Amino acid sequence: MPATHPTGLRFRRLLLTGAAGGLGRELRTRLKAYCDTLRLSDVAPLGPAAAGEEIQPAALQDGAAVHALLHDVDAVVHLGGISVEGPFEPILQANIVGIYHLYEAARKHGVRRIVFASSNHVTGFYRQDEVIDARMPMRPDGYYGLSKAFGENLAQFYFDRYGLETVSLRIGSSFPEPKDRRMLATWMSFDDLERLVVASLSAPVVGHSVIYGLSDNTVRWWDNTPAAHIGYRPRDSSDAFRAQVEARQPTLDHGNPATRYQGGGFVTQGPFD
Ligand code: NAI
Ligand code: 15L
């Protein structure tokens, strides 16, 4: 039996969806330390299973495949789905029908907790000069943000009705480094992503909690005080990248909605017909 991680967190079997994606590839290596078996799923290729891994491909819109995916799982980190703005139909299948299948399967198999990769685009139509928290009304900035809003509402319903707990992570921008001025506020390092996911899996009681995923950036638009019970303590900051980002992008067009609103470029995408 592998040793328990210093956090004390250890699952028998953890499911990671979206495991072939950008964040999935990061968490694939990191989450192994917290479980005996990491079950990996995606529609994209995942390569061979390493020690302690199981590969189980599934399209989220395939209810039977998702039901099988949840068999004998203790907890889920749900990253799978379309991760950018685009036409409604594919988002409907992957993100809306898909998350319904995931929660139904979790309910039937008695899974206790899901960590759901929601997005800052649930509140993308707040202005960049506002500081908001997760108790404020949703203001999705497109079909993608709407699909994540649906996911959060679904999570709330499954907690209220069935006691299935979720932490919805309104992730900002999790990339190796901030790419532009907006990301100086929204950036979250991969190490902080791991801290956030581990805190979400290990907090004793979460009900349905909503928390923004960002590092300890000096400039910030999101106040996580209502989610203090998760115990997330970011250790990185975008500040180390500020000088190089500002040199690359010395001026901002304040007339551009992408500069005015928190959702950035997502707020101007579409229509798609
Ligand atoms: P990604 O696009 O790299 O990964 C998503 C994965 O989901 C892909 O491997 C894709 O093949 C899989 N997928 C798509 N449709 C599927 C379907 N119908 N059935 C099964 N799998 C499907 O995205 P990334 O950056 O890794 O993000 C992971 C999650 O975090 C996504 O849900 C995204 O919306 C969310 N997120 C990510 C942010 C970031 O900064 N990277 C910011 C906010 C939210
Ligand atoms: C997201 O929700 C996307 O998944 C990611 O690719 C980034 O665009 C991020 O938001 C962001 O807002 O920077």
Q: List, for residues 17-67, the tens digit of each pLDDT value.
A: 999 999 999 999 999 999 999 999 999 999 999 999 999 999 999 999 999
Instruction: Reply yes or no on whether 144 is catalytic.
Output: yes
Domain count along the chain: 1
Q: Residue 1: what pLDDT?
A: 43
Which residues on adjacent β-strands are paired with residue 208? Answer: 166
Q: Where are the alpha helices (DSSP H) in the chain?
A: 22-31, 63-69, 88-91, 98-109, 143-162, 181-186, 190-202, 242-248, 257-260
Per residue in 72-130, pLDDT tens?
A: 999 999 999 999 999 999 999 999 999 999 999 999 999 999 999 999 999 999 999 99
Burial class (CB in 10 A: 0-12, 13-18, 19+), 271: exposed
Is the pLDDT confidence value at 3 over 60?
no
Closest Cα to atom 9 of ligand 2: 173
Expressed as residue numbers, the domain containing 166 is: 11-268
User: Is the pTM value of this prediction over 0.75?
Assistant: yes
Flag whether 5 is in a domain: no
Residue 88 within any structural domain of the chain: yes
Query: Locate tokens 């139904």: which residue?
Result: 104
Asked whether residue 43 is domain-assigned, the answer is yes
Q: In angstroms, rounded to a whole number, what is the distance separating the alpha carbons of residues 246 and 182?
A: 11
Centre of ligand 2 from the C-alpha of residue 123, in Å:
12
Per-residue pLDDT band for 6 (boundaries 50, 70, 90) equals low
Residue in 34, 126, 143, 144 annotated catalytic: 144
**Count of Cβ atoms closer than 10 Å to residue 228 Cβ:** 9
- AA letter at 152: E
Packed helices 190-202 and 22-31: angle between N→C axes, nearest 10 degrees: 60
CA 258 to chain CA centroid, nearest Å: 22
Q: Is the pLDDT of residue 4 over 80?
A: no
Closest ligand to C-alpha of residue 147 is: 1
In a domain, 24, yes or no: yes
Residue 73 lies in a domain: yes
* Domain assignment present for 208: yes
Instruction: Residue count of the chain, please give it.
Output: 273
- Burial class from Cβ neighbours inside 10 Å (0-12, 13-18, 19+) for residue 151 reads buried
User: What tens digit of pLDDT does each residue of 161-201 get?
Assistant: 999 999 999 999 999 999 999 999 999 999 999 999 999 99
133-168 residue pLDDT tens: 999 999 999 999 999 999 999 999 999 999 999 999
Which pair of structure tokens corresponds to residue 207? 């009900």
Nearest atom, ligand 1, residue 95 CA: 18
Ligand nearest to the CA of 121: 2
Test site for ligand 2: of 120, 173, 179, most ligand atoms within 8 A of the Cβ: 173
Q: Which residues pair with 113 in a beta bridge?
A: 75, 165
CB of residue 166 inside a 6 A radius of ligand 2: no
Distance (Å, whole) CA 39 – CA 28: 9
Chain Cα centroid distance, residue 107: 20
C-beta 173 within 6 A of ligand 2:
yes
Provide the pLDDT for residue 9.
83
Q: Identify whether 243 is part of a domain.
A: yes
Residue 2 is assigned to a structural domain of this protein? no
In angstroms, the CA 252 to CA 126 distance is 18
- CATH at residue 201: 3.40.50.720
Q: What is the pLDDT of residues 214-239, one digit of tens each?
A: 999 999 999 999 999 999 999 999 99
